[in-house]
Structure 1
Amino acid sequence: MTRFMDVHHHMVGITDEQLREAHEADLAIQGEEGVSFMQTWADPEEGVIYCLSDAPSAEAVQRIHQRSGHPADEIHPVPLSL
């Protein structure tokens, strides 16, 4: 498994409730692709959402996000962390 940070742009004004609903939609189907979403952050003013996950591939992360209705604009592997 690899850790990934994915980024969603153009989400200006997202609310706590909308972020929670999007995250829960991912969690509901994540196991079908072997993905484990760990945490999600948002900056409503900048319109950016960040999601941290462990997954077999970036493609698996994207498939979950696409199926739940919010594809990622960027997906980055995070090979090192402290």
Structure 2
Amino acid sequence: MPLYMDVHTKIKDLTQEKLAEDHRKDLEYEQAEGVHFKEAWADPETGTCFCLSEAPDQDAVRRVHRRAGHPANEVYPVTLHV
């Protein structure tokens, strides 16, 4: 299944706990869209979060994040990795 990296920006009051809670929300909706969120990283200083997922397409990733209450600003296909 294709990999995607999505970006969330300008997240206010970003903490480890908020990142974990938002990730749990994604997991609640991922199966309905055929998505699997693998990992998430964040920088509280800039309020930026990055999520890596396997998904049928970018729109599926966007739908999960929207349903979870934190839409992604950008979604990129990851076609090369080591």
| TM category, shorter | over 0.9
1:33 is aligned to 33
Distance 1:78 1:2 in 2: 7
1:19 is aligned to 19
Number of corresponding residues = 82
Distance 1:75 1:60 in 2: 10
Using the TM superposition, give the Cα deviation of residue 13 of structure 1 relative to its aligned residue in structure 2, in angstroms: 3.1
- 1:2-81 correspondence runs (5 A): 2-81=2-81
Percent identity between matched residues is 49
Deviations 1:22-41 (A, max 9, x none): 00000111010000000000
- Whichever residue aligns with residue 71 of structure 1, its letter is P
- Whichever residue aligns with residue 69 of structure 1, its letter is G
Give the TM-score normalised by structure 2: 0.96
- For residue 75 of structure 1, give the secondary structure of its aligned residue in structure 2: strand
Deviations 1:12-62 (A, max 9, x none): 430111111100000111010000000000000011000000000000000
Runs of 4+ that moved beyond 4 A? none
Q: Which runs of 5+ in 1 are unaligned?
A: none
Q: Which runs of 5+ in 2 are unaligned?
A: none
- For residue 10 of structure 1, give the secondary structure of its aligned residue in structure 2: coil
